[in-house]
Amino acid sequence: METQTSNEYKEVISRCKELFRKKTIDYGTAWRIFRLSSITDQIFIKAQRIRSIQEKGSQKVNDPIEDDFVGIINYCLIALLQISYVKDERMEIPFEELEPAYDHWVSETRGLLENKNHDYGEAWREMRVSSMTDIILMKLLRTKQIEDNQGQTLVSEGIEANYQDMINYAVFCLIKLDYHV
């Protein structure tokens, strides 16, 4: 059954995917050079910029924070793609080959969102964008710790789950900022 959230989610992801496609055409898959920890740091830079602007109430670089949330989504998907292609040593992978893997991770992540929305009753709709930004930053710190522990955890979810949660919170922020319209 299609819900409002499902439709909004699809619209946000569609815009993110189109930007990913265009950047892949422009730049190829230069991101393949990144270690996973470097992708995590790229996501951190974007989340930290958003928080800094939220706290200061102003910005000097005229790029909207919506672009940074899109960047968080696409970098998280790039991280998940890197995990998927860990044994593939190619630097260049055509978009047509990446697209099914991108779609797979989006589908898995959206499924996670739908399950959590069922249990939590879409509590995110009552949250502030600033709180969700903080949650993204907390997930980043967790991810960094897991990376520093060579991916080993005792009781927590792994790196993939943290990237997926960051995607979902960034989508929520974009929905609340009317990016899907």
pLDDT digits (tens, 9 = 90+) for 71-97: 999 999 999 999 999 999 999 999 999
Measured CA to CA in angstroms, residue 92 lies from 19, 29, 83, 85 at distances of 18, 5, 15, 11
Of the listed ranges 41-50, 81-90, 132-141, 143-152, the one predicted with least confidence: 143-152
pLDDT digits (tens, 9 = 90+) for 26-38: 999 999 999 999 9
| 63 φ, ψ (degrees, to nearest 5) | -80, 125
Do residues 72 and 79 lie in contact, with contact meaning Cβ atoms separated by under 8 Å? no
Do residues 69 and 173 lie in contact, with contact meaning Cβ atoms separated by under 8 Å? yes
C-alpha span between 61 and 101 (Å, rounded): 33
Nearest to 46 by CA among 27, 68, 66, 67: 68
C-alpha span between 116 and 123 (Å, rounded): 10
Q: Please, which pLDDT band fits residue 1 given cuts at 50, 70 and 90?
A: low
Structure tokens at 101: 């893997």
Q: What is the mean pLDDT of residues 3-11?
A: 92
How many other CB atoms sit within 10 Å of the CB of residue 39? Answer: 23
Nearest to 174 by CA among 2, 26, 5, 40: 5
Structure tokens at 47: 């989340």
C-alpha span between 38 and 113 (Å, rounded): 26
> What is the model's pLDDT at position 180?
72
